[in-house]
A and B are shown apart, each in its own frame.
Chain A
Amino acid sequence: TQLLEQSPQFLSIQEGENLTVYCNSSSVFSSLQWYRQEPGEGPVLLVTVVTGGEVKKLKRLTFQFGDARKDSSLHITAAQPGDTGLYLCAGDFFDSNYQLIWGAGTKLIIKP
């Protein structure tokens, strides 16, 4: 059974601070996606990482895919209240059919 574990489950920090959230698995994924979900809305894709060791930047957000393609991290620099939301990672695992495995999410609150 493939499992994606996200940590921490909850994080509350002050505006301007930096933070890192993690997404870990014992399985190898062909790709990994990060989504952000705001209250009452559906998740929205932020980025897809495909290559082991890949780093992608989206303004103040930096995403990294582990060399072994089993883990990923999301680093936010100088967090802002607008970054508040639930951050979900989802791994694309190919077995007999493509199967997207979802983590439980990190709930992030940025206080002004």
Chain B
Amino acid sequence: DSGVTQTPKHLITATGQRVTLRCSPRSGDLSVYWYQQSLDQGLQFLIQYYNGEERAKGNILERFSAQQFPDLHSELNLSSLELGDSALYFCASSAPGGGDTQYFGPGTRLTVL
């Protein structure tokens, strides 16, 4: 158990819909990272937050947005969903400093039908 929690574990929805994925980092970690992993592929970095503020942006689509709240949990919002958005979405957290070891949550498997 990494100490990072993600909900829900599975999500099935239809094209055009909007979903919210939730992540709670390890206690004391200030950084939260979001990744997308499609079938049999590596991790695609989406976005990083540090103590409530956006720190780095990767290949995140305009239809996707994220935020980190004062209690440090984070949400990833995916809208106007397309079939190609079906993937595993991972959240990771790291200790203050931003570049340290990342601890991954169990992921949310999103299926868009």
- What 1/0 flags go to B71-113 for Cβ under 8 Å of A? 0000000000000000010101000011101111111010000
Chain B residues 1 to 52 lying within 8 A of chain A, measured CB to CB, are 2, 4, 40-43, 45
A99 CB-CB contact with B under 8 Å: yes
Q: Which of B41, B42, B106 contacts A41 (CB 8 A)?
A: B106
B2 touches A104 (CB 8 A): no
- What 1/0 flags go to A39-58 for Cβ under 8 Å of B? 01111110010000000000
User: Hey, which chain B residues are within 8 Å of A66, CB to CB?
Assistant: none
Chain B residue at minimum C-beta to C-beta distance from A104: B42
Measured in the bound complex, the distance between the Cα atoms of B41 and A107 in whole Å is 9
User: Hey, which chain A residues are within 8 Å of B56, CB to CB?
Assistant: 97, 99
User: Hey, which chain B residues are within 8 Å of A33, CB to CB?
Assistant: 101
A48 touches B101 (CB 8 A): yes
B40 touches A100 (CB 8 A): no
Q: Which of B41, B88, B99, B106 contacts A100 (CB 8 A)?
A: B99
B101 touches A102 (CB 8 A): no
Measured in the bound complex, the distance between the Cα atoms of B37 and A104 in whole Å is 10
Chain A residues 4 to 56 lying within 8 A of chain B, measured CB to CB, are 30, 33, 40-45, 48
User: Hey, which chain B residues are within 8 Å of A86, CB to CB?
Assistant: 42
Q: Which of B2, B42, B98, B99 contacts A42 (CB 8 A)?
A: B2
Contact (A44, B104) CB under 8 Å given A97-B55, A99-B56, A100-B99: yes
CB distance from B20 to the nearest CB of A (A): 19
A92 CB-CB contact with B under 8 Å: yes
Chain A residues 69 to 112 lying within 8 A of chain B, measured CB to CB, are 86, 88, 90, 92, 94, 97-100, 102-105, 107
A102 touches B106 (CB 8 A): no
Measured in the bound complex, the distance between the Cα atoms of B106 and A94 in whole Å is 28
User: Hey, which chain B residues are within 8 Å of A88, CB to CB?
Assistant: 42-43
CB distance from A48 to the nearest CB of B (A): 6
What are 15 inter-chain pairs, A to B, with CB distance below 8 A? Answer: A42-B2, A44-B2, A45-B101, A48-B101, A97-B55, A97-B99, A98-B98, A102-B42, A102-B43, A102-B45, A103-B42, A104-B41, A104-B42, A105-B41, A107-B40
